[in-house]
Amino acid sequence: MSDSDSSFTLDGRIIAFAPGQTILAAATAAGVYIPHLCAHPDFPPHGSCKLCTVTVNGRDGSACTIQAAPGQEVRSDTPELHEIRRVLLQMLFVEGNHFCPGCEKSGRCKLQALAYEIEMLSPHFVQFFPHREIDASHPEFFLDFNRCIMCELCVRASRDVDGKNIFALAGRGRESHIIVNSPSGKLGDTDFAATDKAAEVCPVGAILRKEIGFATPIGARLYDHAPISRVDLAGQEK
């Protein structure tokens, strides 16, 4: 088998891939960063956030769901795609209530880190400022639905890894939201535990541990030391 049978071109660079790998997985393995939010190496591709949109042979698609194939011409690092990503991030910021300076997740938040990475300088759109409840019923965790970006990582982790189905996505369109599967709808009425995979996968500040707030000061955190492109390529998914 020749190299051309197991490689594609990404922004002019030859990227080798293994059978079944997606463009995102192959690029990451080759040390090339493609922005993403909902993709996670422990779960099957999902394709909900669209931050990993690339152009493949002239057509746009999600790098996390498109399988790598020989001879593909893939573009990711272009002004047009970066502008699409900025708009998507701006919409995520205004749809929820994200106040980074006062958030315990600041410096460890993938949404915030991506905004820095692709130079999102303002929210641009009018803020929705939705009214969303905070669930503090669990003894070890609280849920701040104001920060949820509906990436569904907690849903997939609880269902596919923990086998508990604690979280689910309900509603349609602007009414979409994450719910807790318990009679009361409260996290405290579930068997959610600190050892659950779902307890660690949230990329923003929607699922937070109690009693350890600001143990690591802002300025000394994961993405304070290095941009998200370098951190994720180093294999430190958080």
Structure tokens at 129: 């400022």
Query: Domain of 48?
Result: 3-77
Which amino acid is present at 188? G
Strand ranges (E), 47-140: 53-56, 59-62, 73-75, 134-135
> Using alpha carbons only, what angle is made at residue 161 by residues 159 and 164, rounded to the nearest 5 degrees?
40
Q: Please count the structural domains in the chain.
A: 2
Q: Examine the domain organization and report whether 190 and 117 are in the same domain.
A: yes
Tell me how far apart the terminal alpha carbons of the chain are, to the nearest angstrom: 37
Same domain, 69 and 117: no
Six token digits for residue 154: 């907690």
Query: Residue 171 falls within a domain, yes or no?
Result: yes
Q: Which of 52, 77, 102 is the last residue of a domain?
A: 77
User: Residue 169 pLDDT > 90, yes or no?
Assistant: yes
State the CATH number of the domain containing residue 24: 3.10.20.740
Question: pLDDT (tens digit, 9 = 90+) per residue, 75-131?
Answer: 999 999 999 999 999 999 999 999 998 899 999 999 999 999 999 989 999 999 988
**What's the CATH code of the domain at 125?**
3.30.70.20
Q: What average pLDDT does the chain have? A: 93
Distance (Å, rounded) from C-alpha 220 to C-alpha 201?
Answer: 20
Q: What is the pLDDT of residues 191-209, one digit of tens each?
A: 999 999 999 999 999 999 9
